[in-house]
Structure 1
Amino acid sequence: MIYLLLSILASTLIFVIFTLFGKYKINTLQAIVINYFTAFITGIVSSTETLSVNEVINKDWFYGALFLGFLFITIFNVMALTAQRNGLSVASVASKMSVVIPILFGLYAYNESLSILKTIGILLALFAVYLTSVKAKTGKVSLKNLWLPILLFFGSGTIDTSIKYIETTYVSENGIPIFSATIFAIAGIIGIVIISAEAIKGKLKLDLRSVFGGIILGIVNYYSIYMLLKALQVDSFESSNIFTINNVAIVMLSTLIGLAFFKEKLSIKNWSGIAIAILSIVLVTLA
């Protein structure tokens, strides 16, 4: 149970860190790049397997890791912008609702059944993303920022689906730490390319705070995944229960932190969206 609690706290802390980046004007891109190299180093240190660069490149999963590396840095930036512009609750709900995408993929690729509960849960998830995106002051959806939670929703779902497919098809049990570390490294390299382009244009201003923030984010990012995997290894808990508790707790804790520490204001529609989000997660996961 302690692993699940630590996973919930770490995952929620990622949203909090992104919000703090925006509040204190920390360069998010620089911090995210540092984050991935930190997560890469953490993964390598935690791994019992050692491979050369050539061995990694020749792995069957390498091209999948390239694709995921691109998605990781892209969606992490989207997550940061969503938390900063739309709020913690919107970012957490949009990312957690993406669980419906790997479920839909499972229906097609693995011939899984589509029950009434799953169908209702998927539809409720989409509706919840809309409701939580309605601003409290105007009562309307900001079309300018609506693309952020939508992109976060589909991007996070694509990442989860791709990881599940690649790990199931190409990655051995002992190769998971190296596979994960490779994804982090590729995401970091892509970030370096982007930052180098800014430097060439003369737009780069190195922010030492982003280095410190990126190191903290990288450690939290790695252990949010590590602790969840450890929780899933506990035989006394079914994985469906673990995912339900994990996702619902992250949404609720993010919302409470947003209200208590960042003075976020939620309308009745926002609260309704969060409630529907929790219901949809339960229905989809337990269906």
Structure 2
Amino acid sequence: MKNFFKRLLTNPTPTSEQGEPTAGSSPALSIPATKAKREEITRFIINGLKPYIDEKGHTIAGLRLYMLCNNKELEETLKVALCDDTPGMFQKDHLERKLVNNFIQLAGGWFFEHHLVTDKLPDYCITHGTMGLEVIRRGQDLFQQYSTARLQALVGKTEFPEYELNPQQQLKFNIGRSKNPKLSTGRIHTNDIVFWAQDDPQFDAQSGAANLHVSRNHAYILYNPQLDKFFLFPDKGGLPDNGNKTRIYTTDDKVKSLNVPGVSHELQNGDQIELGGAAILVFLKS
């Protein structure tokens, strides 16, 4: 009996000979995956910023976090951990206080961005495992180097005939049907380049026929300030798995399809972006 209780205390979860929990047993308690991932990310950022601790002459203007992600479960965990549905929440409620407590100097209006990548982390990052951190210090005059670009609708009815892509205002530009569509997950999505939906009062059946082939979250354009380049990515709704397509027709008569999440196309002046095989935008670099 004494040996039985000793074994029970050292191994409270009954297991089979293969080490798996037996039928009817409960799994051991653990920290929820999302909370653990959020703490892991925060630790990585603080460790990456150790050179800035108690350095009053080096103020941080912004942070960009890059994370390798190759499966849907991890993608959802990362998005929830980083409060993706509530912009600014991770920065203000989870990260800023801990940075201040570690005597890391932050500029007023400092920014935080996170990006999921599928191939590799940027070479200019502080890296550890699957995470990379880019530090923007106050005084780095990046904004004056930013190029601007434009998108014009060639086929389809958009909110505006032309859109300016200005990195001084934002770095990511969502493309899709309707201004604030509700996705199948229940989340409200916001588009910057808007193709009117059939139930929008501005929709016109004749000029907007191509709009019906555009997904609510079809694609997005992301600006990279280090490279001074714009990249087009397929969003979830613009992938073949969802019955949709995203193609680029280049000025040298090549056709490129974006069929893999996280795989992008570097946009060049004159590239035509085809959405759903019908709507077309043209990219114009200033």
TM-score if structure 2 supplies the norm length? 0.25
Structure having greater relative contact order (Cα 8 Å, sep ≥ 6): 1
**Which entry has the higher C-alpha Rg, 1 or 2?**
2
Choose between structure 1 and 2: higher strand proportion: 2
Choose between structure 1 and 2: higher helix proportion: 1
